[in-house]
């Protein structure tokens, strides 16, 4: 039973017959709201006043007819149950009525069938309505993004194509914008996907609020959006882009957290940058990529950047594949204690064995991974690889392995857990792992880093400030960092001059005052190594000691060195 109150429209010339029908419903426990009509005009106005749950019609009505009533009603409501209740209906007429869209017919002499028939029809209309609704929803979903309800990529393509045709015919300008949010991944990782979704929804609302009704705002997927702006030239397109950035800048509150979000926008327009939708999409995408990489926020497509951006885009998809297929190689560079000259650690340095470009240094792919959110899977892959290779049977147990982290890794609140998991999986004690974080990056985001570093240290991992001297760390700030080691940047060490000598001495003293071990990198000569020892530096690495090499070579080097020093190091 759908409801206890039924709104029944009676198409009936006899008041008596109408009352009899209503009595059937009352007997079954329904409260009836009804209206009796017996002309086309009355029916139409009753339908307009609706809604009605069902209609019951006599077949023969003077000056009107049941089948005419049915035809009128179907113009207003294609679903409403319609049942003939008639004394005179013959079987043939009944069949014709059903064919015309009546749901049932009941003899006036057999009214007990009425309520069950109505109940069955009401149930069926419910089913039909929800199926229709579901179908409509599916059709909508095929072209809209379920999270933001914005047009999706498919509909965007269609709209852009249409807009291009219209603009070309009318010789009007058209601007197309692609936007990618900056730092959205950190938001997602930090607040969880649920709140991340809220952020995207609010971004969608803001985007809609800054454009006109004729503009299309679409979600391309992830944190990427696109805007089609008809009758908009380059200048106005720039203006719209600035409005978008301004709207995004306003603080955004989700789940009680205030979130700062920004975006990078790429712009391309008709006819300068392309004459079809695919080209505009591609060019705006390249411009967006430039905006992101340069940190400019907004970039207009420009052909001379094209080649460069193309290469980077290609590299980006190759990097994704490289991570999936593990095309990386780990090299290990020994770090020696300056007192005993014994090896205290090896630093893992990553290489990409690119299928076409050969072996690439980290500078060619780490920044790319950082910008594209791939640094997290890459770091975990490399960490796992290094621990697996280094912890194989026969590995010297007392030698630590140092792995470089990107500061982006520290924004991932799950990093400490992930590191602990890998250590456990590979059976390596936390004390055997050191993690190095570049100084200037750490200073860029101290609050985030602090919590993450503290938790890593709790696990028992050694922490080092890398490239020390290149950043802006103040003495007082360093004191609050939960770290164990300072690595003096190689620019101060290699080719040590008197000027550098004073700086290096100061750094070593500073490190020692803070209770940190000081390691010098980039030692390329015996003289520098000797000077560092005089200055009280704790450890050193560099090509003079040994260059970074694959695991087997570094192992061999180690074995040889152990033999040499087993004979009696000083
Ligand atoms: P870094 O941590 O400062 O690593 C030391 C760099 O100095 C390495 O360059 C190494 O090959 C080089 N080097 C070693 N000895 C000498 C020497 O005597 N003289 C000179 N001039 N250079 C020397 P590489 O391998 O190109 O790595 C560059 C940077 O890439 C690293 O600097 C590190 O910041 C980053 N990196 C390397 N592997 C990874 C990784 O797995 N993850 C992350 N996030 N960054 C990495
Ligand atoms: Ca390092
Ligand atoms: Ca370094």
- Separation CA 220–CA 178 (nearest Å): 9
The residue nearest atom 46 of ligand 1, judged by CA position, is 404
Q: How many angstroms is it from 473 CA to the middle of ligand 1?
A: 21
Quick one: how far is CA 69 from the chain centroid?
55
Task: Yes or no: say if 207 and 227 are a contact pair by the CB < 8 Å rule.
Answer: yes
Q: Which residues pair with 518 in a beta bridge?
A: 486
Ligand nearest to the CA of 470: 3
DSSP 80: S
Pocket test for ligand 1, best of 329, 345, 360, 362 (most atoms within 8 A of CB): 362
Pocket test for ligand 1, best of 363, 490, 496, 527 (most atoms within 8 A of CB): 490
Token pair for residue 557?
A: 């080097």
0.75 exceeded by the pTM? no
Q: How many CB atoms lie within 10 A of CB 31?
A: 11
The answer to whether residues 211 and 240 touch, using CB atoms and an 8 Å cutoff, is yes
Do the Cβ atoms of 551 and 523 come closer than 8 Å? no
Q: Tell me which ligand sits closest to the C-alpha of residue 367.
A: 1
Backbone angles phi, psi at 263, to 5 degrees: -140, 165
State in Å: Cα 489 to ligand 2 middle.
9
* Distances 182 to 104, 151, 447, 538 between C-alpha atoms, Å: 62, 21, 19, 41
Please give the C-alpha separations between residue 217 and each of 474, 488, 543, in angstroms, as whole numbers: 46, 50, 55
Confidence (pLDDT) at 319: 92
Please give the average pLDDT of every successive group of 10 residues along the chain, which has 570 residues. Answer: 79 91 92 93 91 90 87 88 82 78 84 91 88 80 89 92 95 96 86 91 96 95 94 94 94 87 94 92 89 85 72 82 96 96 95 94 90 89 95 73 90 91 94 88 67 93 90 66 92 80 89 94 95 96 97 92 62
Say how many Å lie between the CA of residue 113 and the centre of ligand 2.
86
Contact (Cβ atoms closer than 8 angstroms) between residue 209 and residue 217: no
What residues flank ligand 1, with Cβ below 6 Å? 333, 349-350, 361-363, 366, 379, 382, 404-406, 436, 438, 466-467, 490, 494, 521-524, 542-543, 548
For residue 153, give the DSSP letter.
H
Sign of CA dihedral 153, 159, 165, 171: negative
Which ligand neighbours the alpha carbon of 349 most closely? 1
pLDDT for residue 196: 92
Span from the CA of 436 to the centroid of ligand 2 (angstroms): 6
- Which residue's CA is the closest to the ligand 1 atom numbered 12? 522
3-state secondary structure string across 493-562? HCCCCHHHHHHHHHHHHHHHHCCCEEEECCCCCHHHHHHHHHCCCCEECCCCCCCCEEHHHHHHHHHHHH
> Residue 231: what pLDDT?
96
**What sign does the CA torsion over 394, 399, 405, 410 have?**
positive
C-alpha–C-alpha distance, residues 12 and 56, integer Å: 8
- The residue assigned the tokens 């058209």 is 174
| Coarse DSSP helix, strand, coil percentages of the chain, rounded to the nearest 5 percent | 50, 25, 25
For a mutational test of ligand 1's pocket, the pick from 521, 523, 525, i.e. the residue with the most ligand atoms closer than 8 A to its C-beta, is 521
The pLDDT assigned to 312 comes to 73
Q: Which residues make Cβ contacts (< 8 Å) with residue 560, sequence separation at least 6?
A: none
pLDDT at 1: 47
The helix/strand/coil state of 52 is coil
């Amino acid at each position: 039973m759908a409801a206890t109150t039924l709104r029944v429209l009676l198409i009936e010339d006899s008041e008596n017959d109408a009352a009899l029908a209503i009595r059937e419903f009352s007997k079954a426990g329904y409260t009836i709201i009804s209206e009796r009509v017996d002309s086309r005009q009355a029916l139409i106005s009753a339908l307009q006043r609706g809604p009605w749950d069902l209609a019951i019609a006599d077949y023969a009505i003077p000056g009107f007819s049941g089948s005419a009533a049915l035809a009128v009603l179907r113009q207003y409501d294609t679903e409403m149950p319609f049942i003939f209740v008639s004394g005179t209906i013959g079987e043939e007429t009944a069949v014709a009525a059903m064919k015309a869209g009546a749901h049932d017919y009941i003899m006036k002499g057999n009214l007990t069938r009425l309520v069950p028939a109505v109940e069955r029809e009401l149930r069926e209309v419910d089913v039909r309505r929800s199926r229709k609704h579901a179908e409509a929803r599916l059709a909508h979903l095929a072209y809209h993004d379920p999270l933001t309800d914005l047009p999706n990529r498919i509909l965007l393509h269609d709209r852009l194509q249409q807009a291009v045709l219209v603009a070309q015919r009318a010789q009007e300008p058209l601007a197309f914008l692609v936007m990618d949010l900056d730092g959205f991944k950190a938001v997602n990782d930090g607040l969880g996907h649920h709140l991340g979704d809220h952020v995207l929804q609010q971004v969608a609302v803001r985007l809609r609020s800054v454009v006109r009704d004729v503009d299309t705002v679409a979600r391309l997927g992830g944190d990427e959006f696109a805007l089609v702006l008809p009758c908009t030239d380059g200048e106005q397109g720039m203006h719209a882009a600035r409005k978008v950035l301004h709207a995004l800048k306003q603080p955004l509150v989700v789940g009680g957290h205030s979130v700062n979000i920004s975006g990078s926008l790429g712009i391309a327009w008709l006819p300068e940058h392309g004459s079809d939708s695919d080209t505009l999409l591609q060019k705006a995408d390249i411009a967006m990529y430039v905006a992101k990489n340069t940190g400019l926020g907004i970039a207009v497509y420009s052909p001379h950047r094209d080649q460069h951006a193309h290469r980077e885009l290609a590299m980006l998809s190759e990097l994704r594949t490289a991570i999936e297929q593990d095309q990386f190689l780990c090299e290990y560079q020994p770090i020696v204690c300056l007192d005993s000259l014994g090896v205290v650690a090896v630093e893992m340095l990553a290489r990409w064995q690119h299928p076409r470009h050969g072996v690439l240094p980290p500078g060619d792919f780490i920044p790319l991974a950082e910008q594209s959110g791939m640094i997290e899977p890459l770091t975990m892959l490399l960490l796992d690889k290094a621990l697996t290779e280094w912890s194989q049977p026969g590995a010297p147990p007392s030698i630590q392995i140092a792995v470089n982290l990107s500061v982006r890794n520290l924004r991932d609140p799950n990093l400490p857990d992930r590191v602990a998991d890998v250590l456990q999986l590979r059976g390596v004690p936390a004390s055997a792992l050191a993690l190095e974080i570049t100084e200037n990056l750490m200073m860029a985001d101290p609050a985030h880093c602090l919590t993450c570093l503290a938790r890593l240290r709790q696990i028992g991992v050694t922490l080092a400030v890398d490239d020390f001297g290149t950043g802006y760390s103040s003495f007082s700030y360093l004191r609050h960092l939960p770290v164990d080691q300072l690595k003096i940047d190689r620019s101060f060490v290699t080719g040590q001059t008197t000027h550098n000598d004073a700086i290096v001495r100061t750094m070593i003293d500073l490190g020692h005052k803070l209770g940190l071990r000081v390691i010098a990198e980039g030692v390329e000569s015996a003289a520098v190594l000797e000077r560092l020892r005089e200055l009280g530096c704790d450890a050193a690495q560099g090509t003079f000691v040994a260059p970074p090499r694959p695991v087997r070579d570094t192992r061999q080097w180690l074995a040889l060195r152990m033999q040499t020093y087993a004979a009696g190091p000083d």
